[in-house]
Amino acid sequence: MVAVGHPFDTLKVRLQTQDAAKPIYDGMVDCARKTVQWEGPGGLYKGVTSPLVGQMFFRASMFSAFGASKRWLADRRGGEASSLTTADFFAAGAMTGFAAAFTESPIDFFKSQIQYQILREKADPAFRPAFTGLGGAVREAIRANGLRGPFQGFQATMLRNVPANSLYLGFFETSKRFWADRLGCARPADLPAPYVLGSAAAGGLLYWITIYPVDVVKSALMTDAMPRGDRKYAGMADAASKLWAEGGLKRFYVGFAPCLIRAAPANATMLYTVDKITHLLADR
C-alpha cells in the first residue's frame, strides 16, 4: 500500500504546503512532472522511509485499538459482537482514531518534513537542509524541541483522526453488516470480496472528503520550521486563519485530487487485508 500510495501523498503534501502567493506547481500533473524532473522518480518517494518503518507500529496500534474498542462496547451489551449497534461501530472508530494519533503523528511529521525540503530549496537557492533522511530528521526534531519534537502538529492529527476514523471504520463495519443481511450471509465475515473491498473503499473516501481541510492545516504545521522561533504558525487556529487569508475555502482543498485518487484503492486493499486476516485468526 505504501509503495502505491506514497507518490500521491507526496504530491498532496507539496501542493498543500507550497506558497500560495508564489506557487511552483500548477496542479497535480505539473507537481508530478517537476518532481521527477528535479529529483528523478525517487522524488515521488521522498520521506517513504518514515511510513515504511512506522506502518507496522501504526497499523498494529490502530487495529488493536479498534478490536479492543469493539470488545469493550460489546461487553457492555452482553459480550456478543453481534450485539454491537451502528452507533457502537462509529464510537469504536472514534476511540481508535484517538489511540492511533499517538503513533501516526510522528510518522506523518518526519515524512512531511522530508517531502517539503524541495519547496524550501526552490524558495531560497542558498538553503541548505539541516538533515537528510529519516535518521537526520529525528535527530533534528529532538535537538530542536526534545521529546516533544516528533509530535509537531499532533493536535491537528488528533482533531483529524477522531471524526475521520469514526466515519471510516464505522461506515466500513456498518456497510459490511448491511450487505451481509441483504445477501443472506450468516455473518459479515462471509461476505464476497467485492463487497468488503467496496465498503472499505467507500469508507476511505468518506475519511478524506469529510476532514480534508483539517489535513491541510496539519500539513502546514508539520512542514513548519522545527525551531519554535522560526515558525510561521503559532498553532492550529493561527495556521487556519493564515491559510484562509491566502485563498478562502478553496485554499483548504489544494491537493485534494491526488488524495482522492489514492484513497479508494489504498484503503480498500488495507482494510480488506486486515479484515480477512482478523477473521482467519478468529476462526482458528
Report the CATH number at residue 14: 1.50.40.10
The three-state (H, E, C) secondary structure of the chain, written as one string: CHHHHHHHHHHHHHHHHCCCCCCCCCCHHHHHHHHHHHHCHHHHHCCCHHHHHHHHHHHHHHHHHHHHHHHHHHHHCCCCHHHCCHHHHHHHHHHHHHHHHHHHHHHHHHHHHHHHHHHHHHHCCCCCCCCCHHHHHHHHHHHHHHHHHHHCCHHHHHHHHHHHHHHHHHHHHHHHHHHHHHHCCCCHHHCCHHHHHHHHHHHHHHHHHHHHHHHHHHHHHHCCCCCHHHCCCCCHHHHHHHHHHHHHHHHHHCCHHHHHHHHHHHHHHHHHHHHHHHHHHHHC
Whole-prediction pTM value?
Answer: 0.93
Residues 55-62, mean pLDDT to the nearest whole number: 84
pLDDT of residue 283: 61
- Structural domain including 145 reads 2-283
C-alpha cell at 199: 465498503
Domain count, the chain: 1
Tell me the C-alpha distance between 6 and 36, whole Å.
Answer: 14
Tell me the C-alpha distance between 185 and 269, whole Å.
Answer: 22
Residues 141-169, mean pLDDT to the nearest whole number: 97
Contact 199, 175 (CB under 8 A): yes
The tens digit of pLDDT for each residue in 212-254 reads 999 999 999 999 999 999 999 999 999 999 999 999 999 999 9
pLDDT of residue 276: 81
Kindly tell me if the per-residue pLDDT of 277 is higher than 90. no
Q: How many residues does the chain have?
A: 284
Kindly tell me if the per-residue pLDDT of 31 is higher than 80. yes
Contact 222, 160 (CB under 8 A): no
